[in-house]
Structure 1
Amino acid sequence: MKRTSLISTITLVFAAFATDAFAQETASATATATIVTPISIVKDVDMNFGNVAVQSTAGGTVVLTPAGVRSTTGGVTLPSTATGTITAASFTVTGTGNYSYSITLPSTALTITSGSNTMTVTNFTSDPSGVGTLTAGTQTLNVGATLNVSAAQAAGTYVSGTPFDVTVNYN
């Protein structure tokens, strides 16, 4: 009995030392944060479809590419001598160099008006399309769209009452 008691006591002593020796370990880590230049977008040039003519019996569209090139469908024609000012919208995007960013264009129609007459601008497109890269911290973003013209559209200069939004965000 004495021997069993002695073995039990020795076992408890070793167990106590073993628990203390292996019960706790410590590791260290550092914390890091990198502040990047905030992304920004500034409008340089407004969108302008230029001069457009339309038949009295058939409407159509004017497609303005991000490169500022126009084409038509339906009863819409483009005067060859009095073209007017033709520009895709242009923006400068700035931020941290070599970062990529997403581009969000309007998804709903933009109404432009001349007095009580209206037309809509739809199908916005951009170059770059969808995603851009800030080479050296800057990039030009051009935006085109489609102008929807009704048959016998009234003459006038049509302007949007509110500007359209182009949103950029780091990926």
Structure 2
Amino acid sequence: MSGTGTPQIETAELEALRAAAAEQNLRVAVVASRWHQVVMDGLIAGAHRFCAEIGLQEVTVIRAPGSFELPVIASHAAKSFDVVVALGVVIRGGTPHFDYVCSAATDGLGQVALSTGTPVGFGLLTCDDEAQALDRAGLQGSKEDKGFEAAHAAVSAAVEIAALNR
């Protein structure tokens, strides 16, 4: 089961992130696919929940046509925002399309982070079926909240990078 080993976010860490995010005046973009709307609504809500928990009320949501387009839109967002949270879902079908889209999106998002230096939270669900996606979407009854986790990872990385560059 995925989710095993997920780090717990302690109150002290949230307070530190809240202080750093305010000090750095972090600007956050959530780049989210339009496919699988129910799952995407949950992922976006999770990213918003995390940002609200640390006092970031202004989060810009930019919609991508699909998960394949996440990297190019994230690349442009990285020019104007301090943090990019990439959210999407690809559900396996009966053709190799799944493998190509997952690979291209994953590689592309990593390339965006490395080439721009802007943290990119990886919230791309790559699932065998819709039930797996719903279980990770942060909805009522879901076991995981990958939108929340991706936002946490990206903001945490931005804070760490700022500390390294002082």
TM range (shorter): under 0.3
TM-score (norm 2): 0.27
Larger radius of gyration: 1
- Looking at secondary structure, tell me which structure has more strand per residue: 1
Output the TM-score relative to the length of structure 1: 0.27
